[in-house]
Amino acid sequence: VKHAGRNHMAFYSDELTAQARNRVLLEGRLRTALKQDKLECYYQPQIDIGSGKLIGAEVLLRWHDTELGFISPTVFIPLAESCGLIHELGLWVLQHSCQQFSRWLEQGITPFSLAVNVSAHQFSKDQLFDELTQVLADNAMPAHYLELEVTESALMIDEAKVVATMRQIKALGVRLAIDDFGTGYSSLSYLKRLPLDILKIDRRFIEHIPQANDDMQIASAIIALAHTMNFKVLAEGVETAEQLAFLRQQGCDYYQGYYFSKPLPATEFINLLQQQPNS
């Protein structure tokens, strides 16, 4: 038994080493991909429930490695966060998507809101605000087209600092959304202190509608809460007509999800935008 235990330990530590090696390998490849512009921004439409119009797009990062294949952002974003690469990666996404957006504006597309994810880690450094003003200036991009999506976890790092940075960003005219609302651990009191515009209801509260009564109660409570605070509310991960009907009935403002469209490469997104009525 002792023997088996030791073997088990040996096996376990081999596995750890393999994991660590894997991480180092992946980190290196991610650095290279970033340097060589091998990452790609996809765009997922955001729809106004009342009018059915496309009013925005969330930028979602994609990485296709020539050898390893497609790697999910749920893998490489946490990796980038733990090795510090997230600052560079986050700036790349901002620069790249704002540049793309201003080219579209020049081409005369109907403007929409561009929602970019910002990691909590990016708030822990001082340069976020300066980088943001620089990116907007470089691309002559009007700030009111840009929206930043931030998770509650940003508040856990250094709330006072995050609040101060958010106020600066807000003063530029950039809008702020709380992402994955309802999944963090912070108290709701931050809703009064942050200059927010939008709450995004996490997909996990939407996916089991209409079967799960408790999720429906939670979703409708979040919608009411958002409106009490004068925020708009967007439901994520809407996949069915029933889910959309429920959200409409509850007065939810916007949605995104496979029901309307998956995240799309830039050209496909623009094709879709141009097929919209009055665009």
| Contact positions vs Ca ion (CB under 5 A) | 117, 149, 179-180, 236
Q: Per CB under 6 A, which of residues 217..276 are in contact with ligand C2E?
A: 236-239, 256-258, 263
Q: Does 45 bind ligand C2E (CB under 6 A)?
A: no
CA distance 85 to 78: 10
Among 100, 102, 113, 117, which residue sits at the site for ligand C2E (rule: CB under 6 A)? 117
Give least dist CB 178 to Ca ion, A.
9
Residues 91/131, Cβ–Cβ less than 8 Å: yes
Residue from 30, 49, 54, 77 touching ligand C2E (CB under 6 A): that is 77
CB of 249 to ligand C2E, least distance (A): 19
For residue 65 the two structure tokens come to 């490695």
Residues 87-116 touching ligand C2E, rule: CB under 6 A, are 90, 93
Compare residues 31 and 197 and give the one whose CB is closer to Ca ion: 197
**Between residues 90 and 184, which has the closer beta carbon with respect to ligand C2E?**
90
Q: Are 166 and 176 in contact (CB under 8 A)?
A: yes
User: Which of ligand C2E, Ca ion, none does residue 93 bind to, with CB < 5 to 8 Å depending on kind?
Assistant: ligand C2E
Task: Rule CB under 6 A: choose which of 147, 152, 179, 253 binds ligand C2E.
Answer: 179
147 touches ligand C2E (CB under 6 A): no
Q: Which amino acid is at 189?
A: S
What is the contact mask toward ligand C2E in residues 15 to 44, using x (rule: CB under 6 A)? -----------------------------x
| Binding positions for ligand C2E, rule: CB under 6 A | 44, 59-61, 72-74, 77, 90, 93, 117, 119, 179-180, 203, 236-239, 256-258, 263
